[in-house]
Amino acid sequence: MSTIIRNGTVVNADQTFRADIYCENGKIVAIGPDLDVPSSAEIIDASGQYVMPGGIDPHTHMQLPFMGTVATDDFFTGTAAGLAGGNTTIIDFVIPAPQESLLDAYKKWREWAEKSAADYSFHVAITWWDDSVAADMETLVKEYGVNSFKHFMAYKNAIMADDETLVKSFRRCMELGAMPTVHAENGELVFQLQQELLSKGITGPEGHPLSRPPIVEGEAANRAIQIAQVMDVPIYIVHVSCKESLEAITRARNEGQRVYGECLAGHLVIDDSVYRNESFEFAAAHVMSPPFRSSEHQSALWKGIQGGNLHTTATDHCAFCADQKAAGKDDFSKIPNGTAGVEDRMAVLWDEGVNSGKLTMNEFVSVTSTNAAKIFNIYPQKGSISVGADADIVVWDPEGTRTISAKTHHQNVDFNIFEGKTVKGIPTHTISRGKTVWANGQLNVEQGAGRYINRPAFNPV
Amino acid sequence: MSTIIRNGTVVNADQTFRADIYCENGKIVAIGPDLDVPSSAEIIDASGQYVMPGGIDPHTHMQLPFMGTVATDDFFTGTAAGLAGGNTTIIDFVIPAPQESLLDAYKKWREWAEKSAADYSFHVAITWWDDSVAADMETLVKEYGVNSFKHFMAYKNAIMADDETLVKSFRRCMELGAMPTVHAENGELVFQLQQELLSKGITGPEGHPLSRPPIVEGEAANRAIQIAQVMDVPIYIVHVSCKESLEAITRARNEGQRVYGECLAGHLVIDDSVYRNESFEFAAAHVMSPPFRSSEHQSALWKGIQGGNLHTTATDHCAFCADQKAAGKDDFSKIPNGTAGVEDRMAVLWDEGVNSGKLTMNEFVSVTSTNAAKIFNIYPQKGSISVGADADIVVWDPEGTRTISAKTHHQNVDFNIFEGKTVKGIPTHTISRGKTVWANGQLNVEQGAGRYINRPAFNPV
Amino acid sequence: MSTIIRNGTVVNADQTFRADIYCENGKIVAIGPDLDVPSSAEIIDASGQYVMPGGIDPHTHMQLPFMGTVATDDFFTGTAAGLAGGNTTIIDFVIPAPQESLLDAYKKWREWAEKSAADYSFHVAITWWDDSVAADMETLVKEYGVNSFKHFMAYKNAIMADDETLVKSFRRCMELGAMPTVHAENGELVFQLQQELLSKGITGPEGHPLSRPPIVEGEAANRAIQIAQVMDVPIYIVHVSCKESLEAITRARNEGQRVYGECLAGHLVIDDSVYRNESFEFAAAHVMSPPFRSSEHQSALWKGIQGGNLHTTATDHCAFCADQKAAGKDDFSKIPNGTAGVEDRMAVLWDEGVNSGKLTMNEFVSVTSTNAAKIFNIYPQKGSISVGADADIVVWDPEGTRTISAKTHHQNVDFNIFEGKTVKGIPTHTISRGKTVWANGQLNVEQGAGRYINRPAFNPV
Amino acid sequence: MSTIIRNGTVVNADQTFRADIYCENGKIVAIGPDLDVPSSAEIIDASGQYVMPGGIDPHTHMQLPFMGTVATDDFFTGTAAGLAGGNTTIIDFVIPAPQESLLDAYKKWREWAEKSAADYSFHVAITWWDDSVAADMETLVKEYGVNSFKHFMAYKNAIMADDETLVKSFRRCMELGAMPTVHAENGELVFQLQQELLSKGITGPEGHPLSRPPIVEGEAANRAIQIAQVMDVPIYIVHVSCKESLEAITRARNEGQRVYGECLAGHLVIDDSVYRNESFEFAAAHVMSPPFRSSEHQSALWKGIQGGNLHTTATDHCAFCADQKAAGKDDFSKIPNGTAGVEDRMAVLWDEGVNSGKLTMNEFVSVTSTNAAKIFNIYPQKGSISVGADADIVVWDPEGTRTISAKTHHQNVDFNIFEGKTVKGIPTHTISRGKTVWANGQLNVEQGAGRYINRPAFNPV
Ligand SMILES: [Zn+2]
Ligand SMILES: [Zn+2]
Ligand SMILES: [Zn+2]
Ligand SMILES: [Zn+2]
Ligand SMILES: [Zn+2]
Ligand SMILES: [Zn+2]
Ligand SMILES: [Zn+2]
Ligand SMILES: [Zn+2]
């Protein structure tokens, strides 16, 4: 199987140039002007289009069991939807229950993911601590291609990691050459505020953001970063949603600390007025943590990307339908937390970022693909149009438009937080490991075509 | 008993002027030029001297049971030494053991303090949490004149308050009109670092500062401040020793939050080279928490005072002798934490602050007396030379000098962290509740002369 | 003439207490409960009211010749309106034309001000530089009671001071013990932007804020502060309107530098939407420099006051009527810059600051009166309810209301930027030098009753 | 002419990998394992070594006429010395005298540079302003490959650009797609301080840093950045030497502004104690502007590099010998400003940066080469080991050592500011446009071998 993309303009994180791209057996094997290729090669004409590394969404939760239900997009439907949107790799999360063996959980998730249509990898969450956890971390790093561990600082009485766990796990990450990551919200404050709000009779979705104000996130981000500094390990903060946590990152980076920040497409463009919508269904559909924020925070996040203090964009894709969200009809704290978006991230970023002049095309590639590959140590296999890289490519039509809607999207969920938004700039073709899986609006995916991506530990060369 | 101070220059926090001061029955009753007073009045000639409010040390630990021993300065010797240094009030700490009743502990400390030579009051520590603690807090505020509660974020497995306790206690303080205060160090990090250092064979006092780096303090200060912000209550950070925690305070104040910072005379002038001294005795004598810091931090603290981000100066006076310090001969984590200084604070501040031009005299009065009185709601009874105020006065000779030494100090301890320092600017007279208790180098104090100072809750007028 | 204010609650910057106040011959002579006074004394019953130091507006321009016209409130009407609003002192500006003798200009303004109904003092502007300017500065300080000099960093081709002038004048201020103050806007940028906007056909008042964006102010404030730091002199920034200049002040203060900031009542509550009003008259009536800003800046200014980074509130009172504003009908850069407000400042600050809980009453007194008195060295003569102080007092009814309107105000101008705003909290009585000049809505003022206030240089006691 | 570098580890800004590099006709034509190449190819064995893009020094002054003399390294000796140190490109400065035609000056410098041994390009300084300057800027951009213009904010009465010039020139840069750059020091403050110091009798080199304190640089950097922001153009700050200017950059970048910072090898490792050396010759040899700073600034600069707020490293290479420096024997302000270093920059950065763990090898490549190429728009022709790039390559031996000394260096000057420093990590081979010009300590350069590098304007693709 070979494919040639002709007449396009290649956009990498570091440069833009005109060239043809030739792929064979899932790899990019030649880049250059007017390449001479076998006549059997499939030809994609990219005239007037940009040819970019396929997107990497470093934060998804396919078929996650959570809050008494299971996310509706599974590894097949979720990765397929991603491909329709130009996204060729996801990094999902293994989340062991407290006391559950990390290895057991890891194997369970690997099994679930076998049907993936696109490539995938896993962060593993540290939700409890004892010596076996420390031992399993080593096994995961050395034998299973895991180089990042996630810590939830919220969700008290469930998967919350306390300071003792953070301190010990971060130290272990340092020893193993792994990257600690955190969901940064102070779980004690969230819990206290939830109790107070509910006791005051505030039970609807409007209570959700009130129970998780920006300071709650800023405090936790700062704490995790400082612990990482003392433990001498880099750190990655997932879904930075507000200026308070961005400032914590920024302060640390200004001191030279190796801190990385991720933000979500949703947080960049949706504000907290959604929670005051009179429709429970609409408001509940937006319940995720951290919540959407007031508009000043969106402006801050864009500046964070521009200034290099935020590095990746993700979705925290975790799809729940209206009937699942209804579990919190009388108590906002019971609404399953999660929104979808793996299909829309790239287009939203291009439309709001590149079209507005906020980001250059090269920066777009950096924050949708390359930086994630570098931070999680799979560059240049992923995140790069270069000879030898995986043939994960998106052909982008800057003039094409699409109106996002749950009615037409490929995600297996009945709601779209970007509903009605018309984006300019869409993928005409997505190539995954050399195979054209999305072309001019047609999806041509296959269960199990995706492969697990080993991510090696960080070590000196 | 009446006293007239003639010919001096009065220095208050807000102004400087020439006037005589007349005191009767423990109160200031007249201020003005050439006051006409009964001939029976004791006359103090303050020509060429400054007449200022007596010092308030808002952070002392007299006869504290701690780390298996008891601090050597008791309420009599400690307050007497304070009077020799121009300090007329202390605010000490009631520290209940976990599970101990707050009221029981409070009463115990009140009893210990009855022998005090000068006025005193108490912060009460929250070292554990249940409903009885919440109830006792109310009783202490409403019936016992307590308006501040202390939280130790360090000392894991002993008196450390976790986030849940902080959140609940801060909320309770808000409800009661009380001020939460914190000892800000991340106890989990300290504990982890102690274990690591000891396991590496670092057992001497040089391990003490290594186990408590500035970030450990900065993180905790930031966390406490953010929790206070969410709980909608002001907060006071004790013994700010480094720029990291000062910056946390400064950031919050710049956002308009009501945050107050205290720093210690020792932290302003002593650097961390003391821990590298080859004498165990010398190094151990400096073991306190937070530890002394490198010189950049001292410079930052002075700027914090100048810029109004630090408000009070204290000593954390907690005296231990060499034989007590020896308990940590083989393990720095067992050295009783504490240093003395209640006698020296005023002179050190004047010498290093006023003589150097860093502080005006009015600022000196603010940070040694007036601000503490305001923050803990006993102004203008204390902290002010004004009609109606308590006659707690220091007469200050800006030309007088003293060489500080354990050989000559009045503190009941065998070491002085300011040993050998010659200060210019000393008290010639200290008047406590109208009685001249220190005059020209002679101490004339009485057990039990001091009274307990009720501090009312913060309420609208 | 003597007056007793009975039954009120005295609010000073540092404390609140119940007491009567007795005034004689223009001074406060007694403060205390149930004072025994001559039966001839006028009695003011302040039951349920607050008794506070009269306001000090440190920034007014009465009858200023500016941009081809003259401000309509003269020293009599302007000070009278101030008294109606509880303001008992103004500090106005002597503004010599380039090459004009400072002393000549000073004497001209002194003559103009003789008709003032309330006390007044003068800052003197440095609009050019040569040796005679340096010499006149010394004369003004030593013989004429001037301790502050103003520098306009904007108004190119008119009164703008370039960096050379700033450097030399600041150094001279240091030598003389005087306070440099600046109007901080980068005049080169303003000029360039004005030219560009006019050349694009943007000639209406909406061009005014576009030509003076916040960065233009922030840059100048930072520059002036840094020059002051190098020249080793404190500095006072007038009319801080935006977070950019507030941040410059805050950064410097955090470093311990002695920097003071003033903000205007108008900038605290009015946003820049006024310039987009379709009525030229309305929009032009709001043209002043720096312009009103978007709402995020108002929020920042309040935080600046709360955090102690802004110290005084003023008005920049400079009244122009509609026919004068019409001079810029076809060119926004020709609209006379200025708005009124000396009558409204105190009530607006109380209503928006104290009623909202942003400020305590003591802070209100600090920022409307006491801090200005301290910074410009007339405390406690002004800015204090204390024995010996000038009897400049306002009796404040926290329940009283007034709807602000040009129809009813006492200012000699046909527009009020606070038009229609109903404030809760108003002066029932204003006492100026012991005389009741405003009582229950009646003004009883006299031309020439005000006196010039000498302000001594800053020197060690 | 063709060359193959075998067995090395290629280090680019974005990745590290093992590969051979084959160069032909001055270009890199193949990269890969075990390349098959013509037997005629020169073979360099890079076993155990790193193969990196040749250095780019974006700030040199070869044979500059300055302060009454001429820099001693000309374009031949200077570029040759650079090659000996692994530096294959310089960007020098055309500095027209006020009133001199930009084009005339440009042509003069081009002529001087024809003898260069390595590639070179030119920034052009804007030292005055009128319409002809604006016109010449356009010509230089469109016809002569200039895309950056330099502005000196210091050197009053010589080449200093005032605010009016900055505003107009920055606007012109925006229109032309050019990058403004600034030497940031407030020239008025420097001038005033020089006069004051000299008048106090401080005439020796110790007066140099006293006349240029860090704030003087910080103020100017902030001003230039703010002007750039208002004029809507990116900006590049040359030779950032202190935390004050770094903070100005950092603040702006945190707001998303496109600001770039350069720092010098010397400022990273040398402190201001050099000016207090008793030898005039030694102290004067270190006189450059901005001066060397106290050690806290060096620490801040390293953090600036690590945090991505400083982007390039340079030398400001401007060589003056002792006899030239002697011109300021009696007046520090007459000492020709300048130090050398083009030969030493790469090794100093490696030794202090990479060996210490402060920088990764990839970051080393970024800040010594790639970032300069990107910022000045010659990437990937320069700054990259990639097919199609210029064959400007350095082969680096991480185990090799050299003790830097004026006795052995190739720079044409009698002093070396790094004298006696032993660096570990040195170039074994330097390849310039495909020719091996430095091999194992032997320099094999040729006058005129270097070519002028056109730098295109910044335009959308
Ligand atoms: Zn999360
Ligand atoms: Zn998640
Ligand atoms: Zn403590
Ligand atoms: Zn303590
Ligand atoms: Zn002004
Ligand atoms: Zn004004
Ligand atoms: Zn320079
Ligand atoms: Zn230079």
% chain C with pLDDT above 90: 99
Structure tokens at B371: 């601000």
List the domains of chain A with CATH numbers: 54-375 (3.20.20.140)
Tell whether B213 lies on the interface with A, counting CB pairs under 8 A. yes
User: Would you call C192 an interface residue with chain D, using a CB distance cutoff of 8 Å?
Assistant: yes
Q: Is the pLDDT of residue A172 over 90?
A: yes
Q: Are C14 and B9 inside 8 Å of each other by CB?
A: no
pLDDT classification of D173: cutoffs 50, 70, 90: very high
pLDDT of res. C89: 98
D253 contact residues in A (CB cutoff 8 A) = 307-308
User: At residue C461, does pLDDT exceed 50?
Assistant: no
Partner B contacted by A193 (CB < 8 A): yes
| Average confidence (pLDDT) over B10-18 | 97
Task: Give percent of chain D with pLDDT exceeding 90.
Answer: 99
pLDDT at C459: 74
CA A91 and chain centroid, separation = 7
pLDDT at C460 > cutoff 70: no
Q: What is the mean pLDDT of residues A257-278?
A: 98
Rounded Cα distance between D387 and D380, Å, is 9
**0.95 surpassed by complex ipTM:** yes
Confidence of residue C443 (pLDDT cuts 50, 70, 90): very high
Contact D423, D77 (CB under 8 A): no
Residue D139 has pLDDT above 50, yes or no: yes
Average pLDDT of span C377-388: 98
Cβ within 8 Å of residue B390, ≥6 positions away: B26, B27, B28, B119, B381, B382, B433
Cα(B251) to centroid of ligand 1, in Å?
Answer: 26
Tokens of C321: 């009527």
Cα angle D164-D165-D170, degrees, rounded to a multiple of 5: 105
Summarised one tens digit per residue, pLDDT across range C270-312 is: 999 999 999 999 999 999 999 999 999 999 999 999 999 999 9
| CA–CA–CA angle A298, A302, A305 (5° rounding) | 140
- Residue D1's pLDDT is 80
pLDDT for A460 beyond 60: no
Q: What local confidence, expressed as pLDDT, does residue D65 receive? A: 96
CB B294 within 8 A of CB B272: yes
Question: Residue B65: what pLDDT?
Answer: 96
User: Ligand 5 center to residue C239 CA distance, Å?
Assistant: 7
* DSSP string computed for B93-119: EE-PPTTS-HHHHHHHHHHHGGG-SSE
Q: pLDDT, tens digit, for every residue of A347-384? A: 999 999 999 999 999 999 999 999 999 999 999 999 99
H or E stretch including C296?
Answer: helix C295-306
* Sheet order of strands, C27-32 included: C27-32, C20-24, C2-6, C42-45
Amino acid at the residue B179 = M
Residue D460 scores a pLDDT above 70: no
Report the pLDDT averaged over residues C187-210. 98
What is the model's pLDDT at position A118? Answer: 98
Nearest to B164 among A188, A213, A222 (CB): A188
pLDDT score of C1 = 80
| Residues of A whose CB is below 8 A from B226 | 186, 215-216, 218-219, 222
Distance from CA of D61 to the nearest CA of C (A): 29
Bridge partners (DSSP) listed for residue A235: A259
List of E strands, D133-251: 148-152, 179-183, 235-237
Question: pLDDT tens digits for C106-132?
Answer: 999 999 999 999 999 999 999 999 999
Closest Cα in chain B to C358: B256
Q: Region D165-180: what's the mean pLDDT?
A: 98
Q: What's the gap in Å between D420 CA and the centre of ligand 7?
A: 26
How far is ligand 2, taken at its centre, from the CA of residue A61, in Å? 6
Partners of D92 in the β-ladder: D60, D122
pLDDT of residue A11 exceeding 60: yes
Q: Where are the beta strands (DSSP E) in C35-172?
A: 42-45, 50-53, 55-60, 65-66, 69-70, 87-94, 119-125, 148-152
Number of continuous H segments (helices) and E segments (strands) in chain A:
15, 21
Helix (H) or strand (E) holding A245: helix A243-254
CA nearest neighbour of C3 among C53, C36, C43, C31: C43
* Tens-place pLDDT, residues C343-371: 999 999 999 999 999 999 999 999 999 99
In Å, how far is A307's CA from the nearest CA of chain D? Answer: 4
Q: Is A188 on the interface with B (CB under 8 A)?
A: yes
pLDDT of residue B161: 98
* Cβ pair C254:B16 closer than 8 A: no
C246 contacts: CB under 8 Å, gap ≥ 6 = C240, C261, C300, C301, C304, C309, C310
Other CB atoms within a 10 A radius of the CB of residue B438 amount to 25
Closest CA of chain A from D21, distance in Å: 15
The pTM of this model reads: 0.97
Q: What is the mean pLDDT of chain B?
A: 97
| Chain D nearest-CA residue for A375 | D14
Nearest chain B residue to A210, by CA: B230
Mean pLDDT of D29-33: 96
Both tokens assigned to C123 = 């800052």
User: Residue C338 Cα, ligand 6 centroid: separation in angstroms?
Assistant: 8
Share of chain B above pLDDT 90, in %: 99
Q: According to the model, what pLDDT value does residue A1 have?
A: 80
- A279-307 in b/e burial notation, b at 16+ Cβ within 10 A? ebeebbbbbbbbbbbeeebbebbbbbbbb
Residue type, D347: A
In the predicted model, what is the mean pLDDT of residues B72-82?
98
Reading the block at residue C456, the tokens are: 């001594």
Number of Cα atoms under 13 Å in the Cβ half of residue A331: 9
| pLDDT tens track for D246-277 | 999 999 999 999 999 999 999 999 999 999 99
Q: Nearest-CA residue of chain B relative to A255?
A: B244
User: What does residue B246 show for φ and ψ, rounded to 5 degrees?
Assistant: -60, -40
* DSSP 8-class letter at C54: P
Q: Does C219 touch chain D (CB under 8 A)?
A: yes
Q: How many residues does chain D have?
A: 461
Supply the pLDDT for residue B282. Answer: 98
Mean pLDDT within A279-283? 98
CB contact under 8 A, C219 and D213: no
Q: Scanning every residue of chain B, which has its alpha carbon at the shortest distance from the alpha carbon of A224?
A: B219
Helix (H) or strand (E) holding B218, with range, is helix B214-231
**Using one digit for the tens of pLDDT, what is the confidence trace for B345-359?**
999 999 999 999 999
Distance of residue B303 Cα from the nearest chain A Cα, in angstroms? 20
At residue C34, does pLDDT exceed 90?
A: yes
Say whether residue C257 is in contact with chain D using an 8 A CB cutoff. Answer: no
pLDDT tens by residue, C48-96: 999 999 999 999 999 999 999 999 999 999 999 999 999 999 999 999 9
Enumerate the residues of chain A whose CB falls inside 8 A of the CB of residue B223.
Answer: 186, 219, 222-223
Answer yes or no: is pLDDT of A112 > 60: yes
Mean pLDDT to the nearest integer, D182-200: 98
Quick one: which of D248, B252, C255 has its CA closest to A244? B252
Residues with CB under 5 A from ligand 7 (ion): D 183
Average confidence (pLDDT) over C375-389: 98
Q: Name subunits touching C (3+ CB pairs < 8 A).
A: B, D
Is the distance from CB of B263 to CB of B240 less than 8 angstroms?
yes
DSSP string across B224-270? HHHHHHHHT--EEE----SHHHHHHHHHHHHTT--EEEEEEHHHHH-
Give the single-character DSSP code of C91. E
pLDDT in tens, A139-161: 999 999 999 999 999 999 999 99
Which of D216, D222, D227 minimises the CB distance to C230? D216
- Which of D16, D257, D309 is the closest to A461 by Cβ? D16
pLDDT for position D31 = 97
Are B449 and B435 a contacting pair, CB within 8 Å? yes
Of A256, A302, A309, nearest to D254 by CB-CB distance is A309
Does any CB of chain D come closer than 8 Å to the CB of residue C229? yes
Q: How far is the CA of B165 from the centre of ligand 3 (A)?
A: 17
3-state secondary structure of C21: strand
A9 touches chain D (CB under 8 A): yes
Q: Are D235 and D173 in contact (CB under 8 A)?
A: no
Q: What is the pLDDT of residues A302-311, one digit of tens each?
A: 999 999 999 9
Tell me: pLDDT of D461 over 50: no
pLDDT of A461 above 60:
no
What's the gap in Å between the CA of D157 and the closest CA on chain C?
12
Distance D151 CA to ligand 7 centre (A): 9
Q: pLDDT tens, A376-435?
A: 999 999 999 999 999 999 999 999 999 999 999 999 999 999 999 999 999 999 999 999
Q: How far is A164 from chain B (nearest CA, A)?
A: 6
Tokens representing residue D342 in the block: 């083009």
Q: At B397, give phi and psi (nearest 5°).
A: -100, 110
Residue B460 pLDDT more than 80?
Answer: no
Interval D50-60: pLDDT, tens: 999 999 999 99
With CB atoms and an 8 Å threshold, state whether C222 touches D223. yes
Report residue D459's pLDDT band, with 50, 70 and 90 as the boundaries: confident
Closest by Cβ to C219, choosing from D168, D171, D222:
D222
Nearest CA in chain A to B167: A189
H helices of B120-199, where?
131-144, 163-176, 187-199
